[in-house]
Structures are given as structure tokens and as C-alpha cells.
Amino acid sequence: MVKEKLFLNDQFNQKVEKDLLAHLLPHKKVGNIFIFILLAIILVGIYAYYRQLRYGLIVTSMRDYTSWGVYISNFVFLVAISLVGSLFSSILKLSKATWSTPLTRISEIIAIAAIICASVIIIVDMGRPDRFINVLIHGRIQSPIIWDVIIITTYLTISVLLLYISLIPDLAICRDKLTDAPRWKKWFYKVFSINWHGTPEQNNILHKVSFMLSVMVIPVAFAIHTVTSWLFSTTWRPGWDSTNLGPYFVSGALMAGAAVIIGAMYFIRNALNLKDYLTDKLFDHMGKLLVLLSLVYLYFNINEYLGPAFKMVGVEGEHIIELFFGKYASMYWLVQVFGLVLPIVVLVFAWGRKPLPMLIISILVLLGAWFKRFLIVIPSLQHPYLPIQDVDESYRHYIPSWEEWAITFASFAGCLLIITFLVKLLPVIPIWETKKEEGGEPKQLEV
């Protein structure tokens, strides 16, 4: 049953402040066991990476044919997830979709966490990470790898700025209200709120800068995933040699990003008791958005597979057969049905856009998205243009070793750890944007 209450401005603002700061109060020990589990997973991952450093890439299952394995597919997945930040804090913001305001901060936090983990995982994939400095010293602009380094750095920078700029007024609120916080937190709020008092001049600058950043981040966000797709499409491999790969990656990323937000919304609203802000209505909106993004992704999927499947030329044809009917068929169809078609079917109905069904769908979409990247990266490498007879069996098959799985799970855990840390440190829903301006229309709050 939904009752609607009208609050007076002051009352409303006070309630907003109280609710949204609640999880930052010192006596709240939200998710300590969760953090412990994450740290344990990361430690296992670090041990696996130690083994990889000690013995070389031979501890992975990457061999002659499959030279890019689960690390790279996971990298593509994490980059995809990071696109969510720009989706909410710029695309939806600029299109004046006010319903998405409570989600901007979460999305920016997730974006930063994902992009940091993506950069770590790409270094893990390198044979000689100790020479990463060579990329800076001897970098050659013609290499897609360098484009990726440049764009990831740029995106990370803009994302951090985007998060930080919109955070300043909230940090000032934290500084003023959270007087019994631990000392380092108080210091953090004080220093990083850079003397914010909400004067008209400060507000003016803030709006200008955040508008500029939200415009700037769009091309960079599209570029980051398009450049990632170019790592593949600039080669001559079956399944990669496609002009469709850029939009195919970007659309898939936006869809995965929307799914991540739905999952995050669900957990944050339950863990931090924010049902009044992350409302059922918001889930409904997100469901519709996910349907739209899934349809776009479906369109690019058809584009990606129809042409080659119709022509069935040489190795490209073998690749398609392997995906559709061969050893990757079960994975491929599970991904396409549960990760793409099912969400569209379920979420067009109103009952499908309730929080719990949405959570299940978003998990399916994310699993689908992860395995889809696996299907993009690995099968292509197993179809060389010049097949050799009697090659070692390890060339033809690729099943990640435990070290690779451990590092992959550690990257997820790292991502979640960064998110948890930031959620525990910052107001997870923008307070100043949720509060009303003086003399504005009274806001309705579903209770």
C-alpha cells in the first residue's frame, strides 16, 4: 500500500539529511563481515598473482592460440560496467530525467571501482608488468593498446572529478552534521569540502563545472568502450574483424551497467534502509530503461551475427558454427536467452519490474554479460587462419586455471570493496540534490 505524504520544505529537508546520513554515523557497523569475506577473496587472488609472477604466465591456461584469456574478457566486462557512471551522471542528467537523481552517486562510485579494477586486471594480463613504464617512455600513438591506456586514464580522471564535484556540497553537510565521526573522517570531510558554504557564487561554479563534466564524459565514455572494441576489431580474427564491434560493445555495456545499478540499488536499499529514496517506482523506471537498452543491444547482436552467419565464409563460418552448434553453443544460447531475451520478456510486464524479480533479472544480465565477453574473446582465438595438424590439445581448449579464476574473483571482490568503502564514507544518495530548493514545489515522498 502506498500512501503519499506531503512534507513542508524544512521538515522534508531535515528528514532527507537524517536518513541519508544515517549509514555514516559511527555506531553503524554495516557490512563488516562482508568486507572480511572480500578481503579473504582478494588475498587468495594476490597469492595466485604471486604464483603468476613467480612462475610466469604458464600458470594460466593461456597457450599459443588462446593468448588472451579470461583476464581480457574480464577486463572488457569491467570496462563495460564502468560505462554506467556516464549513463546516469550525464546522459540521463542531460536529458532531464529527474527520476535518476538518487542513482547518480551510486553509478559514479561503481564506475570508478570498475575502471580501477579493469586497469589492474590489464596489468595482470601482461607478461612483463615490471616494464609497464615502457608504455609511457616508448608509447607509440598508432597502437590500440596506447589508445586504451590514454582513454582509460582520461575516463578515470573525469569520473573521479564527476563524483567529487557533485560531492562537495554533501561533504560540507557531512562536515557540519557528523561531528562525532572518527577523526580521520572529520578531517576528510573538512579538507575535501573545500570551504563549501553553498553561497550563490559557489553554487554557480558547481553547476557550471558539473554541467561541463557531464557533457565531456559522454564522448570519453563512448570512446573507452569503443577503443576496447578496437583492440579486437583492428585485428583480422574471425568474430573480431567487424565494423559493428564498437556500437555492439557500447550497447552491451550500457545494458550491463543498468543491470549493475539495479543490483546495487537492491542491496543498498536493504542494507542501508533507504526504501524511501530507492523506491519501487525507481525500480520500475530502471526496468523500462533496461528493456530499452536490451532492445538496442539485441539489434546490434543481430547485426553482429546475421551477416557472417548468412555468408559462412571460411574461418568466420567455422567460428559461427562453433558458437551456434559447437562446443560453445550451450554457453552461447544460455547467454543470449537468459541474458538478453528473457530480460526483455519479463521486464515489459509491470510485475517484472518489482524489486525482487528485477534483482534476479539483473543478476542474469550480469552473468550473461560476463560470459558474453568470454564468448567474444576466447572462441575467436581458437580459430587460426592457418590451422596446424596435431597441435597440442592445450592449444585447442581453454579452461581457465585456478589462478585465473582466483584473480578474476579477486577483481570482483576488489570492485565491491572499493564500492563498500566509498558507500561507508560518502552519502550514497546526493543529499543536496534530493533536498528541495527554497520556495520550490513541495516534494512527494512515498512512505
Cβ at position 50, least distance to another protein in Å: 15
Q: Residue type for 96, please?
A: K
Give me the helices (H) in 62-182, please.
Answer: 70-86, 93-94, 104-125, 133-137, 144-165, 168-177
- Of 16-24, 246-254, 261-269, 382-390, the segment contacting another protein by CB under 8 A is 382-390
Restricting to residues 144-163, which ones interact with another protein according to CB under 8 A? 144-146, 149
Among 388, 399, 402, 447, binds another protein (CB under 8 A): 388
393 belongs to the binding site for another protein (CB under 8 A): no
Closest CB to another protein among residues 144, 307: 144
Query: Binding another protein by CB under 8 A: which of 135, 218, 331, 363?
Result: 135
- 134 part of the interface to another protein, by CB under 8 A: yes
Minimum distance of another protein from residue 403's CB (angstroms): 15
Stretch that binds another protein, among 86-94, 200-208, 379-387, 427-435 (CB under 8 A): 379-387
What is the CB-side half-sphere exposure of residue 99 using CA atoms within 13 A? 11
Q: How far apart are CA 290 and CA 262, in angstroms?
A: 9
Cβ partners under 8 Å of residue 176, min gap 6: none
Q: How far is the CB of 66 from another protein (least distance, A)?
A: 10
Among 127, 182, 198, 219, binds another protein (CB under 8 A): 127
Shortest separation between residue 326's beta carbon and another protein, angstroms: 20
> Which grid coordinates are listed for 342?
528473457
What's the angle, vertex CA 24, arms to CA 417 and CA 159, rounded to 5?
50
Q: By C-beta, is 86 or 119 nearer to another protein?
A: 119
Q: Is 232 an interacting residue with respect to another protein (CB under 8 A)?
A: yes
Maximum C-alpha span of the chain: 78
- The verdict on 198 binding another protein (CB under 8 A) reads no
Q: How many residues bind another protein (CB under 8 A)?
A: 39
Give yes or no for residue 312 binding another protein (CB under 8 A).
no
Q: Does 62 bind another protein (CB under 8 A)?
A: yes
Q: How many other C-beta atoms lie within 10 A of the C-beta of residue 350?
A: 9
Choose which of 126, 218, 295, 360 interacts with another protein (CB under 8 A): 126
* Identity of the residue, 139 or 219, whose beta carbon is nearer to another protein in the bound complex: 139
- Per-position DSSP letters for 169-201, written without gaps between them: HHHHHHHHH-TTS-HHHHHHHHHHTTT----HH
Under the binding rule (CB under 8 A), the answer on residue 435 touching another protein is: no
Residues paired with residue 445 on neighbouring β-strands, in sequence order: 5
CB of 137 to another protein, least distance (A): 8
Residue with smaller CB distance to another protein, 127 or 182: 127
> Distance between CA atoms of 253 and 154, rounded to whole angstroms?
18
Cα separation, 106 vs 120, whole angstroms: 21
Instruction: Work out how close the CB of 143 gets to another protein at its nearest, in angstroms, rounded to a whole number.
Output: 4
Determine phi and psi for 413, rounding to 5 degrees: -65, -40
Distance, in Å, from the CA atom of 79 to the CA atom of 114, rounded to the nearest integer, reads 7
CB proximity list for 130: less than 8 A, separation 6 or greater: none
How far apart are the C-alpha atoms of 208 and 389, rounded to whole Å? 63
Contact status: 256 vs another protein (CB under 8 A)? no
Query: Does residue 419 sit in helix, strand or coil?
Result: helix
Beta-carbon contacts of residue 241 (< 8 Å; ≥ 6 apart):
233, 235, 316
- Smallest gap from Cβ 267 to another protein, in A, equals 35
Q: Which of 26, 129, 198, 442 binds another protein (CB under 8 A)?
A: 129
Residue 54 touching another protein (CB under 8 A): no
Neighbouring CB atoms inside 10 A of 60's CB total 24
Binding site for another protein (CB under 8 A): 56-58, 62, 64-65, 67-68, 125-129, 131-132, 134-135, 137-140, 142-146, 149, 231-232, 234-237, 381, 384-386, 388-389
